[in-house]
Amino acid sequence: MKIILVGIILNFIIIALNSGYMPVSLGALEFAGYGISAITSGILDTFHSVLNKDTLAPLLGDYIPIPEPYWFPQIWSIGDLFLIVGIFIFVQDLKPNSNSSAKN
């Protein structure tokens, strides 16, 4: 759970520093297969903005491309990686309930 908390805090910091938006690298968007020609402003959607020279703490932004053959190409941040690893470890540590086996 501590690893998950680190991921949440890292994502919170970058979003708080950048007016409520998660900055995204245009190069990572292009590498992941997203067309960047349709972007006309610095705001990509409700939660993301374009990473630029005014971005605070850019290393915490979304700049790690996850391209095809992944089913849904995405761009991840360092905080996202901590979240994913933390959730994976948490699920792996779940142990089946020993009282659930049927007794004869």
Q: Is residue 58 part of a domain?
A: yes
Q: Is residue 102 part of a domain?
A: no
Which one, of 57, 73, 43, lies nearest residue 9 by Cα? 57
Supply the pLDDT for residue 9: 95
Domain that holds residue 15: 2-93
Query: What's the average pLDDT block by block, 10 residues per block, for the chain (104 residues)?
Result: 93 93 86 65 69 88 85 87 94 73 52
Characterize the bridge pairing of strands 22-24 and 64-66. Answer: unpaired
Supply the pLDDT for residue 29: 82
Q: Model-level pTM? A: 0.76
DSSP 37: T
Q: Is residue 104 part of a domain?
A: no
Provide the domain count of the chain.
1
